[in-house]
Structure 1
Amino acid sequence: MHAVPGLFDPLTIRGLTIPNRVAMSPMCMYRSEDDGQPTDWHLIHLGSRAAGGVGLVITEATAVAEEGRITPGDLGLWSDTQISGHRRIVNAVREFGAVAGVQLSHSGRKGGRSRPWDGNTPLPSSQWGKTLAPSPIPFKPEWQQPTEMTHADIAQVIDSFAAATRRARDAGYQVVEGHFAHGYLMHQFLSPFSNRRTDEYGGGLENRARLPLAVAHAIRDEWPSELPVFMRLSLVDWIPGGVNLEESIQVAAWMREMGIDLIDGTSSGIIPGETIPEAPLYHLDMSRRLRAEAGIATSAVGRVRTAQEASRALSSEGADLVLVGRAMLQDAYWARHAARDLEEGNRVEVPVQYRRATQHLS
C-alpha cells in the first residue's frame, strides 16, 4: 500500500515542489486599474496568504486580452507593460515561502459587466465594445448579444493565451492555470448550451473541445517543461443536456496526453438556473472519478472550510491538492491555523518576524 499524503506534505509536479498541499483558490478582486495593472491591493492580498502558510497562491482570473475581461477592474496580462506589476507580486509570494501561480482567462460572452458592488450589470457596447462567444447567444436575455467568433477570432484567442503565458513566465510565475470553467469562453465552447456552431468547433465533444484543447496545447508549449500547467474545468453544468462528468473525464484524458499536469475540477456558471448542491467538498466525488479514470492529478475545491475537510479530501484519495477560497478570504492565516488544528503547526513556515508571537501556540 502507498502512503496517503497529508495536508502539509509537499507536492512535487515535474521539477517544482509545492511546500504543502494547501492552495489559495483564484478569486476575482475587481481592484485593478482600467489598464489591468496589479495594484497594492493584489500585493497585500496575495502576499499575506503566502505569509499565512499557503503552499501555492494563485492569482484571480487574469485576462489574456483587453476584451477578455469580466469587468474594468480585472487583472490582465495582455500587454508587456503589465509584467513588472506581476513580477512584484511573484517576488513577494516567493519571499514569504509560497509558490506563485497565475490563472489565465477570457470572459467571452460574460465580459463587459460592472463590478459586483456596482450591480454586476452589462456595460453598454458603446462603453465596452463587443463581446465574443462561440455562438451569438447572450448569457441572459437582457445582456448584450455576443458576436459569433470567426476563424480569425479563434486564432487570435489562441495567440492571446500563448502570449499571456510567455508574460507569466517572464514575470516569474511557477504554475500557470487555464480558466476553462464558470461559463467563461473556453467553457462556452465546451458546453452545448452556449455552443451551437455547425463547423469544426461545434457539435460533438471532439469538436466542442477543439479550441480549449488548442489553447491548452499553446499554454503547454509556451511554459517551461520543468514547470506544471493546471486547467480549471467545470466538470458538470448541473442541467441535463449540458457538460457531464463523462465528457469532462474524456477532456481531462486528452489534456493529460498533451502534458497538462492537474485538473482543478469545479462546476457550473454556463447558464442561469442551475441547481447546485453546494455542501463541503461537493466536487470531491467527481474529482476522485476524474483522477482515477483520466489518470491525472486533481485538486479539491468547493466549500472547503475546515482543516478536517481539507485533510479528508486527500485521505480519501479524491485529490492531490486542496484549494481554499472563501474561508481564506475570512482568514489570511487559514493554513497556519489548519496546521495547528491538525497538530502539525511545526510544519508550516512562520516568518521570522512573527515567531516570538507564535512559538507558544505551535
Structure 2
Amino acid sequence: MSALFSPITLRGLELPNRIMVAPMCQYSAVDGEANDWHFTHINSLALSGAAMFCIEATAVEAIGRITPGCLGLWNDATEAALKPILASVRKHSRAAVAIQLAHAGRKASSHVPWDGGQQIPVSQGGWQAEGPSAVPHKEGEAPPLALDEAGLKRIRDAFAATAKRAERLGIDALEVHCAHGYLLHQFLSPISNRRTDQYGGPLENRLRYPLEVFDTIRAAFPADKPVGIKVSSTDWVEGGWDIAQTIELAKQLKKRGVDWIDASSGGVSPLQKIPLGPGYQVQFAEAIKQATGVNTMAVGLITEAKQAEDIVASGKADMVALARGMLYDPRWGWHAAVELGGQVEAPPQYWRSQPSTQKALFGATTFGTR
C-alpha cells in the first residue's frame, strides 16, 4: 500500500491521503476580496487529488497584506466574497479546505511580484507597515512602526476574528503563517526583532508573541477542527533563526495541541543564502518530527510522486505540501495515484479521462469509485 495514499486523521478531520495543495499567493484580490480568478484557481486545484487544499495567505487586517492584491478575511465584504467559491468547491470536490491566516508585518505595502515586488512608499499609494521593531526589511526601505501594546492586542484580536469568520465559512482547518519573513516570523528572528521588552531578546521572549497568537486562534476555532502552523526553520543567515530554535518553538506548540508543523525556510532577510535543490527543506520536517513527535509537512521542490512517497514512507514527514508542482500539473494527485497504485476521487464528469494504458495497469477505479 502506498504510504502517500494512506489516510491520516487530524482531530476530527479524516484525510484519505497525505497530500496538501500548499497556500500560494495569487496577488489578484481587490480590497482583499476574492474574485473570479480565485474561483477558477481554487476550484481547479480542489480537484487535484490532494486530500486538502489550503487557501493562500489571507490577511487578518488590511495593513497586514503583502501587496494591494493580497487576499483578506477581515470584514463582511471579504467574507462574503469567499462564500460562493467555497460553495462551489463543496458541490464538486470532497477535498478538505484549509486557509492560511497571515500578517505581513514589515514586508507589507509591496508591489505584486510581476511589478517588481518592491516596497510601495506611502506617497505613492502604499501604507505604513508595522513590525516588532523599527528595522526595515532591507536597506533603503522605510522602516516599519514598532508595535506597541495596543497594536499587539489589535493584531491578536484580528487573528481571532478571522478564525471565527473562517469557521462561519465552513473552513475545515487553519494554518497560521509564521514563516517567510512575515510578522510572526519577524518576532522569532533576532534579525528583525530588536525589542527590549518581554517580546524581544532571549529565545523565550521572542517565542512569546507568536505563541500568544496561536493560543488566540486555537481558542477561537472549534476544538474538533485542526490548526497547524507554517514556520521558517532557518533564516539561512548566520546569527538568525535556525532549526534548533525552531525545535524549541515546536515543543511549545506541541503543548498547545498544534496539529501539524509545515516546515519551510527563509524570507526574513535579503542576505539569505538558500541551497536550492529537490526536497531541500525535507531535512527540517524530519528534524522537527524526530525531536517532538509532532505531525510535520514537508514542502519545497517536491515534484515527483516517488519523491513524495519516499518522504512519507521513510517517516521524514507525515504529509507533503505542493505548490509550484500543482500549478504545473493541476492533476498531480491523479497522476501520483496511477504511478503509486493509490486511489483518489474525481467527479463523474472526468471518469472517462484516464488513458486506456492506465486503466489496464491500475483498473477503472483508480481515480474514483463508480
- TM-score > 0.5 by shorter chain: yes
Residue 292 (str. 1) matches residue 290 (str. 2):
yes
Deviations 1:164-193 (A, max 9, x none): 100111111101000000000000000000
2:60 maps to a residue whose letter is: V
Question: Does 1:189 pair with 2:179?
Answer: no
Q: Deviations over 1:233-260 (max 9, x none)?
A: 0011111111111111111111111121
Q: Residue in 2 aligned with 1:216? A: 214
1:32-111 matched pairs, under 5 angstroms: 32-33=29-30, 35-95=31-91, 96-111=93-108
SS of residue in 1 equivalent to 2:106: helix
Aligned residue type for 2:202: G
Of 145, 148, 168, the match for 1:147? 145
How far is the alpha carbon of 1:356 from its aligned partner? 2.0
Which secondary structure does the structure 2 equivalent of 1:192 belong to?
coil
The 5 A counterparts of 1:300-339 are 300-339=298-337
Q: Is the 8 A contact 1:125 1:144 kept in 2?
A: no
User: 2-side partners of 1:224 and 1:261: how far apart?
Assistant: 13
1:125 maps to what in 2? 122
CA contact (8 A) 2:2 2:340 kept: no
Partners in 1 of 2:128 and 2:7 — Cα distance?
A: 44
Hey, what's the Cα distance between the residues in 1 that align with 2:318 and 2:227? 14
CA-to-aligned-CA distance 1:172-231 (integer Å, 9 cap, x gap): 110100000000000000000000100000001110011100000011001111110010
- The residue aligned with 1:200 is 198
Contact 1:250 1:294 in 2 (8 A): no
Aligned to 2:246: 248
Report the Cα offset of residue 85 of structure 1: 2.1
Q: Is the 8 A contact 1:57 1:93 kept in 2?
A: no
Structure 2 unaligned segments of length 5 or more: list them.
360-370
3-state SS of paired residue (2:229): strand
Q: How far apart, CA to CA, are the structure 2 residues paired with 1:145 and 1:67?
A: 15
Structure 2 CA distance for aligned equivalents of residues 283 and 330 of structure 1:
20
Q: Residue 233 of structure 2 is aligned with which of 224, 232, 235?
A: 235
Tell me the CA shift for residue 295 of structure 1: 2.2
The one-letter amino acid of 1:36's match is G
Contact kept in structure 2, 1:136 and 1:146, CA below 8 Å = yes
Q: Residue 15 of structure 1: CA displacement?
A: 0.7
Match of 1:11 in 2: 8
Alignment partners' CA distance in 2, 1:177 and 1:56:
12
Q: Identical aligned pairs, as a percentage? A: 41
Q: Aligned partners of 1:87 and 1:307: how far apart in 2?
A: 33
Q: Check the 8 A contact 1:78/1:164 in 2, yes or no.
A: yes
- The answer (yes or no) to whether the contact 1:66–1:78 under 8 Å persists in 2 is yes
Q: Tell me if structure 1 keeps the 8 A contact 2:2–2:309.
A: no
Are the counterparts in 1 of residues 2 and 341 from structure 2 also a CA contact under 8 Å?
Answer: no
Cα displacement (A) at 1:5: 6.5
Query: Does structure 2 conserve the Cα–Cα contact (< 8 Å) formed by 1:93 and 1:99?
Result: no
d(CA) in 1 for partners of 2:146, 2:68: 22
Q: Which residue of 2 aligns with 1:20?
A: 17
Work out the CA distance in 2 between the residues paired with 1:97 and 1:235: 31
Question: Hey, what's the Cα distance between the residues in 1 that align with 2:250 and 2:84?
Answer: 33
SS at match of 1:117: helix
> What one-letter code is carried by the residue in structure 2 that aligns with 1:93?
V
TM-score by length of 1: 0.96
Single out whichever of 136-145 and 78-87 deviates more from structure 2: 78-87
Alignment length, in residue pairs? 356
Q: Deviations over 1:128-173 (max 9, x none)?
A: 2210011111111122211111111111110010011001111111
| Cα contact 2:295–2:317 (8 A) shared by 1 | yes
Mean CA deviation greater in 326-335 or 81-90 = 81-90
List alignment gaps of at least 5 residues for structure 1.
none
**Pairwise CA RMSD:** 1.3
In 2, Cα distance between equivalents of 1:357 and 1:285:
37
